[in-house]
Amino acid sequence: MSCGGDCSHCSGCSGCGGSLELTRGEMDFLRLLGQVAFLPVARSMGQEQPVYLEDGPDRQEENALVLQLLEKKGLISLDYDHPLTGACWQAYEGYPIRGSIALTNRGQQVLELLEYQGYLE
């Protein structure tokens, strides 16, 4: 079955070749979400770039790119409507919009496949 080439709302039909390329950073982040169900995320008013500071501010740009790529691939969700309760938001004081990061069903399937194939050892 082919999707007709419009992958803007891809559900993984394999019509576009069925392959998925991940960087080491993306795989590491998926593994982290496999261990911790939800992680904090924030952003500035009027900005779309996610802010994840749990690795320190020096990795903020790298983490933003990884999160955007994983979200575009449909492997994680960035939910700014439901801030992560119980998280320490001290590092995020300058960011008024707070939310949570979680694996999607597809992200969970990819993570399980990576673990099965031994890529996450």
With cut-offs at 50, 70 and 90, classify the pLDDT of residue 120. low
Apex CA 60: angle with CA 55 and CA 61, to 5°? 140
**Which pLDDT score is estimated for 9?**
55
What is the chain's mean pLDDT, rounded? 86
Residue 40 has pLDDT above 90, yes or no: yes
Listed residue (50, 14, 30, 49) closest to 103, CA to CA: 30
pLDDT of 6 reads: 52
Distance CA 110, CA 121 (A): 15
Largest interatomic CA distance in the chain: 49
Of residues 25 and 11, more confidence is placed in: 25
- Give per-residue pLDDT as tens, 2-24: 344 455 555 554 445 568 899 99
Cα dihedral sign for 98, 50, 117, 106? positive
**pTM for the complete prediction?**
0.80
Q: Phi, psi (5° rounding) for residue 99? A: -155, -150
pLDDT at 97: 96
User: Which H or E element spans position 99?
Assistant: strand 97-103
